[in-house]
Amino acid sequence: MSMLRNVFAVILGIATFFLLIMAVQKIGHLLYAPPTDLDVKNHEQMRAYVATLPVGAILFVGLSYMVGAFGGSVVAAFVGTLKPLYFGVTIGGIVLAFALMNFVIIPHPWWFMLAGPIAIMLASYAAIQLMQRFRS
C-alpha cells in the first residue's frame, strides 16, 4: 500500500507542477500578451516570437518553472511516505527535463538557459528542506 501511495504522490506532484506552470505562465501572458495569430505548434513562429520577448516575459517562464518545481515537490513529499529528498529529486528532475526539452525546441536567451535549470534545482532543494522540517 505504501508503494502505491508513493506512486500516487509522484503522479499528484507531476499534475501539480503542470497546473502551477500553466497558472504562472497564464499570468505572464496577461501581462505580456502574445500575438493573437501566434501558432504555438509552429516551432519557427515560436522561435521568432521568443527572440522578441522582453526580459519580464522570459522571467515569467523561469518563475513558472520555479513555482512548479517547488509546489510539485512539496505536494509529492506531503502525500508520499518516502523521504522528501526522493520526491524533490524526482519532481525537480522531471521539471528540469521538460525545461531542457523546451530549450532544444525553442532557443531561449543564453542567460535563461543557464539560470532556468539552476532555479529549478534551487526550488526543488527548498521544497526538500521545507518538507524535511515539516516531517520532523
pLDDT confidence band for 1 (50 / 70 / 90):
confident
% pLDDT > 90, the chain: 82
Cell of 21: 506552470
Rounded distance between C-alpha atoms, residue 36 and residue 50, angstroms: 15
With beta carbons less than 8 A apart as the criterion, state whether 14 and 91 touch. yes
Task: Give residue limits of the domains in the chain.
Answer: 2-29+41-135
pLDDT of residue 69: 98
Using alpha carbons, select from 52, 53, 62 the residue that is nearest to residue 102: 62
pTM, full prediction: 0.92
Structure confidence by residue, pLDDT tens digits, 81-122: 999 999 999 999 999 999 999 999 888 999 999 999 999 999
Rounded distance between C-alpha atoms, residue 28 and residue 34, angstroms: 10
According to DSSP, residue 36 is labeled T
